[in-house]
Amino acid sequence: MKNQIFTYIDSQRDALLDLQRKLVAIPALGPDNDGPGEKAKADFLMEYMREIGLENITELSAPDERAEAGYRPNIAAIIPGANPDRTLWIIGHTDIVPPGDESLWDGDPYTLRVEDDLMYGRGVEDDHAGIVPSLILAKAILETGATPDVNLGIMLVADEETGSRYGLGYIAEHHADIFGKDDLIVVPDMGAPDSTQIEVAEKSSMWVKVSVIGKQCHASTPLEGVNSLIAASDFITRVHELYDMFPDNDDLFEPSVSTFEPTKKDANVPNINTIPGKDVFYIDARILPHYDLDDVMGAIKDMGADIEMEHGVRCEYDILQGEQAAPATSENAFVVKKLAEAVKAVYGVEARPVGVGGGTVAAFLRRAGLDAVVWSTQESNAHQPNERARVSHQLGDAKVYAEMLFSE
């Protein structure tokens, strides 16, 4: 039966491209990205699932009056297996990020472009790589009449790109009973081109807005003011001292250390001949899980106290995002073992558990005590111009999930 499923998947290149083409043409931007929400895309996907024969479809939508529909759509669909007590969940997200500067694209971001094995378009990988393989697999199962060893669960969630409050976070809070303690959960929202990375752990993350406040004056009379740009620049150059304050290594992660990087800086005065009275910059910190975020924030404030004393300014802090890392999925968890075996069978490579610096929606499930992994085969160019993905990767990933379903 598995060979029949594999043969069917191999025949689905044109169907995959047609599905990608239709998905790319439906921009699903959430309200935080100045969009209407994901409803149009979710409606299309529910209709597609019904057309291929999926019957057990549940809507778990989250109220959000900012969205045109008044809610953010979340969808769960099940194909029953021989063992009804265990489900392989594949969780993708429907929302995308904006295309950015469209002059950097070689074509319309919302029109699929295909060159041999490569597909180009916004969302084609992030996160159609989490949606399309699962639907191709579902189509294969339903067309061949196969019964998997366990249930296949397909979950399509909203709001992943802007915090997941209305997506998987909402489901974990309000519909946690949809998951069973023995379920296998795969979130295809990151991966490597060689299929070898199974993400089981995340660093803590913190985004800090630092406002350095001096006194504005005319540039010809600097003694009448306090130059916030000089103080902010000094502060920025000291941020890397945090590497020495929190120096531990963990080889599960790449890079293996905590990272502390100044990133964005807001504009200050619009003209050359004014000394700025306020400068604002931002720090992106990705911190090994055993460090406490409060300790990191304390170190930043201590640094700021020195800046205040030396430059006669005042420093203010806003934590725009602060997320202590969720408990890791054990490297020996059944889902890790099962996925690694399937990757070996399909791609012929040894997949290994890894940790990542960026947060994923798997954290919501791990906090609920569920073993979840993040895996797929990707070009790893999310959010970039000319976002691309490979047809062969998405067909291959469908086979990996089939291997997990039909080899218990």
Q: Would you name the residues annotated as active-site residues?
A: 95, 160
Contact status, residue 265 vs residue 228, Cβ threshold 8 Å = no
Of 10, 71, 95, whose CA–CA distance to 361 is shortest?
A: 95
Residue 177 in tokens: 């009973």
Distance CA 373, CA 158 (A): 19
CA distance 333 to 369: 12
**Class of residue 310 by CB neighbours under 10 A (exposed 0-12, middle 13-18, buried 19+):** exposed
**Distance separating alpha carbons of residues 185 and 363, to the nearest angstrom:** 12
Closest-CA residue to 158 (of 48, 57, 33): 33
181: helix, strand or coil: coil
Q: Is 74 helix (H, G, I), strand (E, B) or coil?
A: coil
d(Cα 124, Cα 93) in Å, to the nearest integer? 12
Reduced to 3 states, what is the DSSP secondary structure of residue 274? strand
Q: Residue 106 CB: number of other CB atoms within 10 A?
A: 10
- Among 402, 399, 404, 389, which residue's Cα sits nearest to residue 19? 389
CA atoms within 13 A on the CB side of 256: 5
CB 155 within 8 A of CB 74: yes
Could you tell me how many residues make up the chain? 408
> What CA–CA distance (Å, rounded) separates 46 from 77?
9
* Pair 200, 329: CB distance under 8 Å: yes
Q: How is residue 173 written in tokens?
A: 């809070």
8 A C-beta contact, residue 77 and residue 105: no
Task: Report d(CA 122, CA 187) in Å as an integer.
Answer: 19
